[in-house]
Amino acid sequence: MAQINDHFLKLKAGYLFPEIARRVNAFTEANPDAKIIKMGIGDVTEPLPEAIVSAMHGAVDEMANRDTFRGYGPEQGYDFLRNAIVENNYAGMNIDADEIFVSDGSKCDSGNILDIFGHGNKIAITDPVYPVYVDTNVMAGNTGQADESGKYGGLLYIPVTEENEFVPAVPSEPVDLIYLCFPNNPTGTVVGKNVLKKWVDYAKANDAIILFDAAYEAFVTQDDIPRSIFEIEGAHQVAIEFRSFSKNAGFTGTRCGYTVVPKTLMGTTSSGEKTSIHSLWNRRQSTKFNGVSYPIQVGAAAAFSPDGKKQIAELISFYLTNAGLLRAGLESLGMKVYGGINAPYVWLKTPGSLSSWGFFDDLLGKTNLVGTPGSGFGSAGEGYFRLSAFNSRANIEEAVERLKKFFA
Ligand code: PLP
C-alpha cells in the first residue's frame, strides 16, 4: 500500500488564484465585451533585456559545437556567475562566491530549504505573507490543521498592518525559524536597517535562523533601505538569503535565482551539537539538484554586464513608474496606499468597510480591473488589496482612468 504524505491533505486547496479565475470567468461570461485588465498575478510583462538574450544565443551556439559543448555543470552554479553575483551584489558584505548557490528560482529554494531543517522547529511568518512559506511548512509536516480563519496550528503569525506601519515586531517568545521578505510581497513595503538589526539580534539571542527573501531587492530605490540582510552586522551568523533574476531581469519563465548561505551559519543537531548549514545545503543540492542550464547561467551573468545593468535599470524604472502612476491615481481618489515605491506592488486599504473580496467584486464590476484580495495572503490582509505594477504602460494608464471614472 503506497502511503501518501498526509500533511498534503491539510493544505487549503489553492484557494486564492483559482477563486479569482472563477469570478473573472463568471464575469466575462455574463459580460463578454468587458475589457478586463489583469493586475493580480505578480508576473513580469516585459521581454528579456537584449544583452541577456544575445548572451544566451551565444551560449546556445557553444552547446552546438563539440569543442565548447558542456554537459553537467557544478550543482552550485558556474564560477563565472557566482563570482559576478558576489562582485556586483555583495561587494563589501563579506560574502564569498562559494556561499552562493545558483538555482532555478527562489520559490523552489525557499521551499526546498526545509529539507535541511528538523520538524520540531517553532516557525514565525508575517501575516499577510507570500503563501509558499506557509504551504511548504504544511507539506513538511511542520504545522497542525488550519482553523476557520485559515491559520495553521504551530505557526506563529506576526501581523503587519497599517497599525504597525507594516513593520513586523520581534516576538516576545522564542522561535527557531523566521521568514522575512523585503521588499515585501504582498504589501510592497520595506524596512530600515534598524528593524532588520532587531531581528538579527533576536535570532542571535534565540539561536534562530532568518530565511530572508530578497526576490524584489532590485526595486529598492531609497539609499537608506537595505537590499540584503547581510548589510546588517551579525547576519552572517543567523541568516540565509534568497534572491532571484525573475523580477529584475524578467526570468519568471526563464528560471534562475540563488541562495546565499554563509559558512559561519550553524544549526543544532538533535543531540545539541552545532553543525554547518552551508554543508547541509551543499549536500542537499548536490544530491537533489543538477544545476541550472549553461545558457541560462550565461544569460544571468549578462545581467551584470554594463549593457545588462543599464537595460535592467530601465526595466525596473519602467515598472516603478507604473507603480507611481497607480499610487498617484489611487491617492487622488482619497484612498490609502502603501508600497509601490521600493516594490512593484501597491497595497491599498479597501474603501469604506468593504472586505477584500467585496472590493474585488466592486472593482471588477465597475472598472473591469482585476487585483488580488489581501485576505488571500492571510487573515491580517483582510481589508486590503494588492495591485501589481507588472503591466504595460497603456494598461496602467487605462486602469488609472477607469479608477478615476468610477471611484471619484
Ligand atoms: N519570493 C517572493 C516573495 C515572490 O513573490 C516570488 C514570486 O512571485 C518568488 C519568491 C518567486 O521567485 P522565483 O521566480 O525566483 O521562483
State the pLDDT at residue 320: 98
188: left (phi over 0), alpha (psi -120 to 50) or beta: left
C-alpha 101/C-alpha 265 separation (Å) is 15
**Is any atom of ligand 1 closer than 6 Å to the C-beta of 245?**
no
First-to-last C-alpha distance (Å) of the chain: 62
Phi, psi of 259 (to 5 degrees): -125, 135
> What are the backbone dihedrals phi and psi of residue 77, each rounded to the nearest 5 degrees, phi first?
110, 155
The DSSP bridge pattern shows strands 155-159 and 369-370 to be unpaired
Ligand 1 centroid distance, CA of 104 (Å): 11
DSSP codes joined into one string, 180-232: EESS-TTT-----HHHHHHHHHHHHHHT-EEEEE-TTGGG--STTS-S-GGGS
Q: What is the pTM of this model?
A: 0.97
The per-residue pLDDT for 76 is: 98
Domain with CATH 3.90.1150.10 in the chain: 7-47+307-407
Query: Residue written as cell 534572491?
Result: 243
Q: Which of 247, 259, 319 to mutate to test the pocket of ligand 1 (most atoms within 8 A of CB)?
A: 247
CA-closest residue to ligand 1 atom 11:
107
130 CB within 6 A, ligand 1: yes
Residue 13 has what pLDDT?
67
Whether residue 239 has its Cβ less than 6 Å from ligand 1: no
Nearest CA to ligand 1 atom 2: 215
Ligand 1 mean position, distance from CA 179 (Å):
13
Cβ of 179 closer than 6 Å to ligand 1, yes or no, is: no
**Kind and range of the H or E run holding 58:** helix 50-63
User: Would you state the pLDDT for residue 14?
Assistant: 65
Contact 137, 178 (CB under 8 A): no
Ranges for all domains in the chain classified under CATH 3.40.640.10? 52-305
Residue ranges in the chain modelled with pLDDT below 50: none
Task: Give dist(CA 388, CA 247) in Å, integer.
Answer: 12
Kindly give the number of the ligand 1 atom that is closest to the alpha carbon of 257.
15
Is domain 52-305 in CATH 3.40.640.10, yes or no?
Answer: yes
* For the CA of 251, the nearest atom of ligand 1: 14
| In this structure, CATH architecture of domain 7-47+307-407 | Alpha-Beta Complex (3.90)
The CB of 103 under 6 Å from ligand 1? The reply is no
Question: 214: exposed, middle or buried (C-beta count within 10 Å: 0-12, 13-18, 19+)?
Answer: buried
Phi first, then psi, for residue 156 (nearest 5°) are -100, 115
